[in-house]
């Protein structure tokens, strides 16, 4: 098949969260299965310094827009062609509003005020790219849009003169929907007829994700459990009614990880390599990290790590509240991430009470994330809800047991370890509370002292967490969409 990904992020160049990793890794896995994959991406400032070789097309692509949007006539979108080392093609669209700033969605925790314009025009440029390919006689078979920034691509292809092929929309997190005032219709080239409850209107606003849900030929989300959860009022983020109308077209496919990037046997970011058959060098990685962070070097002391956005969804407040009691035990704690300023301050204050054993790092580089995983004995994932999550998969790959709340994709990727340590791949706690989190951590710390723990660690590291099986599931979704 000839597949086009429409996305706003791609790891490691343009990344806010797991969406970037999925776009990069899934496209690579599909390429390895023999499919042609092209990724359409906006031109950000970061692309210019990435070292990626791109060739500028001589002829710009005009976007016909309302005079209110562009008084000077059509908007000229310049296209750049490139190729990733994985063999995946890249088409970078230079759309006004992307290259003139450093951020992706916003800066300093605030969204850009013109995001409606930015992502509307980008979606229209992707649609025009699809039409150009169709006119050339080699249309895309599948257009796969990722999350709200590109959710209007399926909608525009369905409601305007379109091109051959089918559309798929992946909901990486239904909490992020792209909500904008009604006047954003002008940027999309749509009239007021689309501002109706059965189309784009959503509690008095436009909802980009809703449009994609209604229009795409197939819908996916990033775990089986989350696919069920978003059909309920509790987790559906007010879109559960719309999603239930498309439930037959919705599939849950658990994310994988790229072994070329996440592999303790080949990882260039860590001081010593190891694998499931010989994990002895993991202790060296722990000692090196503790020294790097200025913490007491005690490789025999359990190291608990938490990595991720510091927001309520990720349970950062639960961890902050539980840390004083966790640190009463003989354990080291390192927390990395950025987000809500108040929660960051609470985590920093909790770590400051045991400065020789605990540290809050704030935002860190990808290389530091790899070193944290290689050093950790336990990785805490206290999310209140989690569509899939990748942190627990990285932890398992690096021989660290995840301690996670029983929700979403965490349920699909972690089997709770039994009391005898004979089965299971991590530790699940039942409620998003500090008390429940503390109980899960204490259970995990007790397990680390068992003589059976090395066997548990080997079992965790031998899990098949790669992208091959998920990619084959996506191929099934594509084929079903083409047959529909």
The two tokens of residue 312 are: 């309520």
Q: What is the count of structural domains for the chain? A: 2
161 and 212 together in one domain:
yes
Question: How confident is the model at residue 70, as a pLDDT?
Answer: 83
Does the residue 268 lie in any domain? Answer: no
Identify the residue whose tokens are 């349920």: 411
Domain match, 296 and 240 both: no
Q: What is the pLDDT of residue 234?
A: 94
Range of the domain at 472: 2-256+468-483
Beta-bridged to residue 4, according to DSSP, are 38, 143
**DSSP state for residue 194 in the 8-state scheme:** G
Cα–Cα distance measured from residue 444 to residue 392, given in angstroms and rounded to the nearest whole number: 14
Is position 313 within any domain?
A: yes
- Residues 383, 243, single domain; the answer is no
- Confidence at residue 237, expressed as pLDDT on a 0 to 100 scale: 96
How are the residues of the chain apportioned to helix, strand and coil, as percentages rounded to the nearest 5?
40, 20, 40
- Specify if 266 maps to a domain: no
Q: Beta strands 110-111 and 106-107: pairing type?
A: antiparallel
pLDDT tens digits for the chain (484 residues)? 999 999 999 999 999 889 999 999 999 999 999 999 999 999 999 998 888 999 999 999 999 888 788 887 899 999 999 999 999 999 999 999 999 999 999 988 789 999 999 999 999 999 999 999 999 999 999 999 999 999 999 999 999 777 778 999 999 999 999 999 999 999 999 999 999 999 999 999 999 999 999 999 999 999 999 999 999 999 999 999 999 999 999 999 999 999 999 999 999 999 999 999 999 999 999 999 999 999 999 999 999 999 999 999 999 999 999 999 999 999 999 999 999 999 999 999 999 999 999 999 999 999 999 999 999 999 999 999 999 999 999 999 999 999 999 999 999 999 999 999 999 999 999 999 999 999 999 999 999 999 999 999 999 999 999 999 999 999 999 999 999 8
Task: Identify the pLDDT of residue 138.
Answer: 93
Residue 346, annotated as binding a ligand: no
User: Are 435 and 412 in the same domain?
Assistant: yes
| The pLDDT value given to residue 460 | 98
Burial class (CB in 10 A: 0-12, 13-18, 19+), 484: exposed
CATH code of 394's domain: 3.40.50.2000
């Amino acid at each position: 098949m000839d597949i086009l990904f429409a996305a706003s992020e791609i790891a490691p160049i343009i990344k806010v969260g797991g969406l970037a990793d999925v776009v990069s890794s899934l496209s690579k896995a599909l390429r390895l299965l023999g499919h042609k994959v092209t990724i359409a991406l906006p031109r950000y400032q970061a692309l210019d310094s990435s070292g990626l070789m791109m060739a500028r097309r001589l002829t710009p692509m005009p976007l016909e827009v309302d005079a209110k949007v562009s008084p000077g006539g059509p908007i000229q979108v310049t296209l750049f062609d490139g190729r990733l080392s994985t063999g995946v093609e890249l088409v970078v669209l230079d759309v006004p509003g992307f290259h003139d700033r450093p951020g992706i969605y916003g800066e300093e925790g605030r969204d850009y005020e013109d995001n409606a314009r930015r992502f509307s025009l980008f979606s229209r440029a992707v649609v025009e790219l699809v039409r150009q390919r169709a006119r050339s006689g080699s249309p895309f078979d599948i257009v796969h849009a990722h999350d709200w920034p590109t959710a209007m691509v399926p909608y525009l292809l369905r409601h305007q003169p379109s091109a051959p092929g089918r559309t798929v929309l992946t909901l990486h997190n239904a909490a992020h929907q792209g909500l904008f005032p009604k006047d954003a219709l002008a940027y999309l080239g749509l009239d007021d007829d689309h501002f109706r409850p059965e189309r784009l209107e959503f509690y008095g606003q436009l909802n980009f994700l809703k449009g994609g849900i209604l229009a795409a030929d197939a819908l996916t989300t990033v775990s089986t459990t989350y696919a069920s959860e978003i059909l309920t009022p509790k987790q559906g983020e007010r879109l559960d009614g719309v999603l239930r109308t498309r439930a037959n077209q919705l599939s849950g496919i658990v994310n994988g990880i790229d072994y070329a990037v996440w592999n303790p046997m080949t990882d260039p970011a860590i001081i010593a390599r190891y694998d499931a058959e010989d994990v002895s060098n993991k202790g060296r990685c722990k000692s090196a990290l503790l020294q790097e962070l200025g913490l007491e070097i005690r490789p025999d002391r359990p190291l608990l790590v938490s990595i991720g956005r510091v927001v309520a969804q990720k349970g950062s407040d639960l961890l902050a509240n539980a840390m004083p009691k966790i640190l009463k035990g003989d354990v080291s704690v390192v927390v990395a991430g950025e987000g809500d300023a108040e929660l960051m301050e609470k985590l920093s204050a909790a770590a400051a009470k045991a400065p020789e054993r605990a540290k809050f790092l704030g935002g860190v580089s990808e290389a530091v994330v790899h070193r944290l995983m290689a050093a950790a004995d336990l990785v805490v994932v206290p999310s209140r809800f989690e569509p899939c999550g990748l942190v627990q998969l990285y932890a398992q790959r690096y021989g660290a047991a995840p301690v996670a709340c029983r929700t979403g994709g965490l349920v699909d990727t972690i089997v709770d370890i039994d009391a005898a340590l004979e089965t299971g791949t991590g530790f699940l706690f039942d409620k998003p509370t500090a008390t429940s989190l503390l109980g899960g951590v204490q259970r995990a710390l007790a397990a680390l002292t068992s003589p059976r723990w090395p066997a548990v660690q080997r079992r965790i590291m031998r899990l098949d967490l790669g992208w091959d099986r998920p990619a084959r599931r996506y191929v099934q979704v594509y084929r079903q969409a083409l047959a529909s």
